[in-house]
Amino acid sequence: MRLSCSYYHCRHCKTGYRPWDEALRLGERRVTAGAEEAIALAGLLTSFGRAARNTLVKLTGIRVSESTVQRVTEDAGEKLGERLTAKETFGSARTWPWNKDKTGQPCAYTSLDFVSVPQQGPDGAKADSRMAAVAMIYNPQPGKEDPEEKQKSSPASSRGGCPVRFLSGLYGLDELGRQLRRQAAQVGWDEAQKQLALSDEGNGLEEFAARNFPLAEPILDFYHASEHVAAMAKACHPQDQPAAEKQTTAWCHVLKHQGGPALFAVWEQLPVGRWGPSRREVHRQQMQYFRNHQHKMDYPRYRAMGWQIGSGP
């Protein structure tokens, strides 16, 4: 359907406008509001070129150029950034019914990680990747770790029913903290009696949580810690992969059921004096890692309280 409309030009201010465009909510890029939303979503999910050539055509029948996808998507990002800078939050402001741990305390969770975002320079030139923050405030259902319990759990206990607020972008930690605190306040973060901050040991993440959520207890993501356990097991059995895997399983069991300090004590007894330089260096690095982070590895207590120990969400 092709539409025609009247255009009005002001001789004094040298500008013009089309009332029909305003009624149709046509933006600067000359696409309708609905098309703008579809184009921006496609531009977020894949490359601008693929969105123009494939995704949009298959899903909507819309045919636009790659540059239009890029400009519409970037325009949407700029508008969102302006609204966030103006301290706007999204969704209804209401206190979530925070799920309770095994002592009856309502628990609120926050988590932060970074993901590498590939970049492209002018004319397709190679460029360094940038690190985008992915932060969240969430209200997970109490965990069911045993397979038998998982089978008995109801659909409502899945993560699909977990209320969550995400915040992502190329933020500095100070600005990210200001934005995330506003999102947390909108869902009643301070109403939760127990506040928990889950993350890996990435540079500055624990300090970020302490500065922005000072009452939150830090927990080191168990699965990230288990990667360091695997590194130590491989140093113990450098030529025997099955033995290294068996050792990893045994040590992860100690870590989960006895905690970081208990596993640290086991590693102190390893006969590293007979190891070569490279294996001793692995031992030194992993001992230093556990020494720095064992205050966030009290997994037996966390599990006894019914708290999450993985930052998978």
* 230 within some domain: yes
284 has a pLDDT exceeding 70: yes
* 122 within some domain: yes
Per the structure, the count of domains in the chain is 3
Same domain membership, residue 194 and residue 140: yes
Region of poorest pLDDT, from 44-53, 199-208, 212-221 = 199-208
* 57 within some domain: yes
* 102 within some domain: no
pLDDT tens digits for range 243-260: 999 999 999 999 999 999
pLDDT band at 141 (very low <50, low <70, confident <90, very high): confident
* Closest C-alpha to 168, from 83, 81, 51: 81
pLDDT band at 147 (very low <50, low <70, confident <90, very high): very low
* 180 within some domain: yes
Measured CA to CA in angstroms, residue 63 lies from 32, 36, 50, 75, 157 at distances of 13, 12, 12, 19, 42
Evaluate whether 266 touches 254 at the Cβ level (below 8 Å): yes
157 has a pLDDT exceeding 50: no
Mean of all residue pLDDT scores within the chain: 88
* 128 within some domain: yes
pLDDT band at 143 (very low <50, low <70, confident <90, very high): low
Same domain membership, residue 211 and residue 162: yes
Same domain membership, residue 227 and residue 204: no
- In angstroms, the CA 121 to CA 102 distance is 52
Measured CA to CA in angstroms, residue 112 lies from 47, 222, 244 at distances of 25, 15, 31
Rounded mean pLDDT of 275-282?
Answer: 94
Q: What pLDDT, on the 0 to 100 scale, is given for residue 251? A: 97
Cβ partners under 8 Å of residue 257, min gap 6: 299, 300
Tokens 């038998």: give the residue: 148
Same domain membership, residue 210 and residue 165: yes
Q: What pLDDT, on the 0 to 100 scale, is given for residue 192? A: 96
**Model pTM?**
0.79
Token representation of residue 76: 């949407």
pLDDT tens digits for range 13-51: 888 888 888 787 777 777 888 999 999 999 988 889 999
Same domain membership, residue 228 and residue 201: no
Measured CA to CA in angstroms, residue 117 lies from 42, 70, 132, 195, 295 at distances of 17, 16, 7, 30, 31
* 193 within some domain: yes
148 has a pLDDT exceeding 80: no
Same domain membership, residue 114 and residue 211: yes
Cβ partners under 8 Å of residue 165, min gap 6: 91, 136, 137, 138, 183, 184, 186, 187
* 310 within some domain: no
- In angstroms, the CA 41 to CA 72 distance is 10
Rounded mean pLDDT of 176-204?
Answer: 92
Where in the sequence is the domain holding 176, given as residue range(s)? 107-215
The share of the chain scoring above pLDDT 70, in percent, equals 94
Of the three residues 163, 186, 215, the one that is the final residue of a domain is 215
297 has a pLDDT exceeding 70: yes
Region of poorest pLDDT, from 120-124, 160-164, 254-258, 266-270 = 160-164
Burial tier of 31 (Cβ tally within 10 Å: 0-12, 13-18, 19+): buried
Same domain membership, residue 195 and residue 242: no
Same domain membership, residue 124 and residue 198: yes
Rounded mean pLDDT of 48-65?
Answer: 93
Of the three residues 197, 215, 233, the one that is the final residue of a domain is 215
Same domain membership, residue 80 and residue 14: yes
Rounded mean pLDDT of 205-214?
Answer: 93
Region of poorest pLDDT, from 17-31, 63-77, 104-118, 233-247 = 17-31
Q: What pLDDT, on the 0 to 100 scale, is given for residue 171? A: 86
264 has a pLDDT exceeding 70: yes
Same domain membership, residue 233 and residue 201: no
Rounded mean pLDDT of 176-190?
Answer: 94
Of the three residues 54, 85, 116, the one that is the final residue of a domain is 85
